[in-house]
A and B are shown apart, each in its own frame.
Chain A
Amino acid sequence: MKEIKKLLVANRAEIALRIIRTAKALGIKTVAVFSEADKTAAHVAAADEAVSLGSPEASRSYLNIAAIIDAARRVKADAIHPGYGFLSERADFAKAVADAGIIFVGPPASALALAGDKIGARKIAMECAIPVVPGGEVEDLSAARALAARLGFPVVVKAAAGGGGRGMRVVRAETELEEALEAGAREAKQAFGDGRVYLEKFLARPRHVEVQLLCDAYGRVVVLGERECSVQRRHQKLIEESPSPVVDDELRSKMAQAAIKLAQRTGYVNAGTVEFLLDGREFYFLEINARLQVEHPVTELRFNCDLVAEQLKLAAGEPVRDRWEPRGHALECRIYAEDPELGFRPATGEVLYVHKPEGPGVRVDSWIEPGSRITPYYDGLLAKVITYGEDREQARRRMAIALEELVLAGVPHTGGFLRDIVLSEPFIRGELSTRLIDEQFATWRPDQQALRVALAMAATAFVRRIDLTQSATGPTLNRRADRSPWVELRGFVPWS
C-alpha cells in the first residue's frame, strides 16, 4: 500500500475544485495547475499550491504532458488526478506519470489503451458475448457504402478514438455518407489525433444507460448502480439520473454482469463507467469511459459516498469496499455556456452575476463567480445542479425549484431550458430517449411570462437612458466596471 500525501490535479474548473476539496478532507496536500487564462480561477485559489502551465490553448497547458509531469516533480507530488476530459483517458499520459514514479489516479495505461480504442473495445465486448450495435470499421467510401447498405439507413459515423459525441454524425441517406465520413474523420483527427471512423446502425429512440464500477488492484469489481443519461444534445449529456426510471432488477443485473466482465477482461482498476444503449429491453455496449464521469455526483448522492475519495483509496492500493446500499433518487442538470435557442451554440463572455441554488437535497458543483471568463479554449460547463429525493418525483421537484433559483447573467446558458424539460410531461413520466430534445424541444423558446417581464425591464432600462447607440457602435465594453449593472446609472435608478 502506498500513501498519497500530495496530489496534483491536472484539470480545471468545477472538477478540479471538486477533487481538491475531497483531497483536502482526506488530509492530502493539493496542487492546482493552471493556464494563463485561469490565473485567478476558483480551483487555483482552492489548492494549497498552484503551478502555471503556460498559454491558454489546451494543447499548451492542460494537455501538455511534459509540463504537467514537470510541475508534479517540482512540487514533489506523489499522485496526479486527471479529472475528466483533457488527459484523463490518454494511455500515454498514464504511462508517463507511472514512469515518473507518480501514482496515476485512474486505470493503468494498458486498460486505457484498450478502452480508448472504440473499435477494439467493441471486439472485446463481442468476445465477452455482450451485444453491440451492428456495424463495423470502414476503410474507405466504397466499404462504407456496402456496410451502410447492409445495415440500412440511417447509420451513424463514429470516431474510433472518440467519445463525448465528437466526430459523430447521423447519416440518413447514401448521398450524405461521403460528407459525413469526411467531417467525422476531420473532427476525430482534430479532437483525438486519430481520424479512423466506423459505422453503426442508428437506433431510433434508444436510452443511454451506463453502469458505474469501482475496481481494485486485486481483481475485485463492484457495481454502484446505473445512471440514465438519455437527455442529450449533440450526443452529449444534459440531464442524468440514478436509478433509470425503466431499468428493473433483472435488466440491472444483466447490465452489471456485462460491465463486470468487461472490467475484468481489460484489467481495469479504479472508477470507470460502461455505457450502453437501451432499446426496449435490449441493451448494446457503447463504450468504456475510463475515468471519473461528469455525472458522478448522481451516484454519490444515491450511494451516499464520495467517488473521488474512493478513487484515491483505490489508487493507493486499498481493496474496494464490497457493501454499497443505494437509496432514493438523484438527478443532475448541466448548466453550459450555450444558447439553447441557437442550436446550443457555444457562447463566451464574462459572468456578470450569478445566484446559485441551495437547500435540502440540493448540491451545486460549479466554478463560476462574477468576473469569471468563459473562453473559447475550454469546455463550456459552468455548473452542475444535482438534487436528491426519496423518490424520483421529490428529486425532480427539488430540481425544478433549484433551477428557478438559478440566476446567471453575462453569458447565455442552459438553465431555463433545463427547467422547462424537468417540468415537461415526457420528463415527468420518465419517457426519455436520446432524441427527446431533437424531437420535442427543437423549437424551444423561453417562458413567455418571463419574456414579458424581461421586455418591460428592458424598456425601463432603455428609457432610463442607458446610452445604447454608443454601446452598439462605440468601443467594445470589456472592462468589467463598464458592464456591471447600472454602475453608471445608479443615480438614475431609484429602486430601493
Chain B
Amino acid sequence: MKIVRKNQTEEHELELERDQGDQITARVDGSSVVLTIQRLSDGSFLVSDGERRYRGFVCRSESGVEVAIGPYLFSFTLEQAREVRSRSTQVARPEIVAPMPGRVAKVMVAEGDRVRKGQPVLVLEAMKMELVLSAEVPGTVTRLRVTVGTQIEAGAVLVEIKPDLSTQQAETEAS
C-alpha cells in the first residue's frame, strides 16, 4: 500500500508481511522493520524495533491514522483515499479552503473579480500568525462566503471560484 504523510509531499511504500499480534514484520520503503508491540494499561503501547523502545499511541484521524512515537507525531493517509478526495474537489469547484482555523483578516477580491493563478485572495489570521491564501487556478470569483472578521473552522470554504474552462480542461488532461 502507498501511504502519504500529512504534508502530502512524502510518499511511503508499505507492506505488512507478517502479523503475529504482538510481533509484526513490515516492509517500509523497501527494507524490513520488525516490531514487538505491547499494549499498556492506559491504551498506549510500548513498541521496540530491536534497537530502541518507544511509548506510542495510534488513533484514527479525520483522514487516516495518527501515530505518536514518543514526542513525534505522524499523520498518515492512504494514497487511494487522497486521490478520491483531491479529484472530487479539484474538478468540481476550485475553491479557497481554510487550511487552519482562525479569523479572516483581509479580503483582497470581490465577487465577479477575475483572478490569476497564485493571486492572493485573502489573509487568514490565527492565534499569532497571518497566512495569505491564493487562488490555485485562474478564474472568476463567484461567491465570497466570508468578510473581514469572520471566524472560520479548518476546511471551511471561504471563496468560490469558477475556473477558466480552457485552463481547467488543460489541467484535467495533464493529470
Binding site for B on A (CB under 8 A): 57, 164-166, 183, 186-187, 190, 234, 236, 341-342, 344-348, 352-353, 355, 375-376, 378-380, 403-410, 412-413, 415-416, 418-419, 446-447, 449-464, 466, 468-469, 471-473, 476-477, 482-486, 493-496
Cβ-defined contact, B125 with A471, below 8 A: no
Q: What B residues does A345 contact at CB under 8 A?
A: 99-100, 129, 131
Chain B interface residue count, Cβ-Cβ cutoff 8 angstroms: 74
Q: Give 10 nearest A-B pairs by CB, closest first.
A: A415-B71, A376-B101, A472-B81, A416-B72, A456-B26, A495-B39, A454-B67, A416-B71, A459-B14, A494-B21
User: B109 at the A/B interface (Cβ < 8 Å)?
Assistant: no
Cβ-defined contact, A342 with B72, below 8 A: no
Cβ-defined contact, B14 with A450, below 8 A: no
Stretch at the interface among B47-55, B110-118, B136-144, B160-168: B47-55
Closest chain-A Cβ to B60's Cβ sits at a distance in Å of: 6
Taking CB atoms and an 8 Å cut-off, the chain B residues in 5-27 that contact chain A are 7, 12, 14-16, 19, 21-22, 24, 26
Closest chain-A Cβ to B104's Cβ sits at a distance in Å of: 11
A-B residue pairs in contact (CB < 8 Å), sample of 23: A379-B127, A409-B68, A413-B71, A416-B73, A418-B71, A451-B69, A453-B33, A453-B69, A454-B67, A456-B33, A456-B35, A458-B67, A459-B14, A462-B14, A468-B81, A469-B81, A469-B84, A472-B78, A473-B81, A484-B59, A486-B58, A495-B38, A496-B38
Cβ-defined contact, A410 with B70, below 8 A: no
Cβ-defined contact, A341 with B56, below 8 A: no
In the bound complex, what is the Cα–Cα distance between A166 and B65 (angstroms)? 34
In the bound complex, what is the Cα–Cα distance between A75 and B16 (angstroms)? 61
Closest chain-B Cβ to A476's Cβ sits at a distance in Å of: 7
With contacts A57-B151, A456-B35, A495-B45 taken as known, whether A186 is within 8 angstroms of B68 at the C-beta atoms is no
Q: What A residues does B128 contact at CB under 8 A?
A: 164-166, 234, 236, 346, 379
User: B92 at the A/B interface (Cβ < 8 Å)?
Assistant: no
In the bound complex, what is the Cα–Cα distance between A404 and B68 (angstroms)? 11
Taking CB atoms and an 8 Å cut-off, the chain B residues in 77-133 that contact chain A are 77-78, 80-82, 84-85, 99-103, 105-106, 125-131
Cβ-defined contact, A407 with B71, below 8 A: yes
Closest chain-A Cβ to B53's Cβ sits at a distance in Å of: 10
In the bound complex, what is the Cα–Cα distance between A234 and B131 (angstroms)? 13
In the bound complex, what is the Cα–Cα distance between A201 and B165 (angstroms)? 49
In the bound complex, what is the Cα–Cα distance between A185 and B103 (angstroms)? 17
Closest chain-A Cβ to B100's Cβ sits at a distance in Å of: 6
Cβ-defined contact, B3 with A450, below 8 A: no
With contacts A236-B128, A346-B127, A459-B15 taken as known, whether A453 is within 8 angstroms of B78 at the C-beta atoms is no
In the bound complex, what is the Cα–Cα distance between A404 and B52 (angstroms)? 12
Closest chain-A Cβ to B82's Cβ sits at a distance in Å of: 8
> Chain A: which residue is nearest B103 at the CB level?
A376
Cβ-defined contact, A473 with B84, below 8 A: yes
Chain B interface, >50% SS class: strand
User: B154 at the A/B interface (Cβ < 8 Å)?
Assistant: yes
Closest chain-A Cβ to B163's Cβ sits at a distance in Å of: 23
Cβ-defined contact, B54 with A468, below 8 A: no
Cβ-defined contact, A342 with B63, below 8 A: no
Q: What A residues does B33 contact at CB under 8 A?
A: 452-453, 455-456
Q: What A residues does B55 contact at CB under 8 A?
A: 355, 405, 407
Q: What A residues does B125 contact at CB under 8 A?
A: 187, 190
Cβ-defined contact, A455 with B57, below 8 A: no
In the bound complex, what is the Cα–Cα distance between A484 and B42 (angstroms)? 12
Task: For A348, give its contact among B12, B57, B101 (CB under 8 Å).
Answer: B101
In the bound complex, what is the Cα–Cα distance between A451 and B68 (angstroms)? 10
Cβ-defined contact, B26 with A353, below 8 A: no
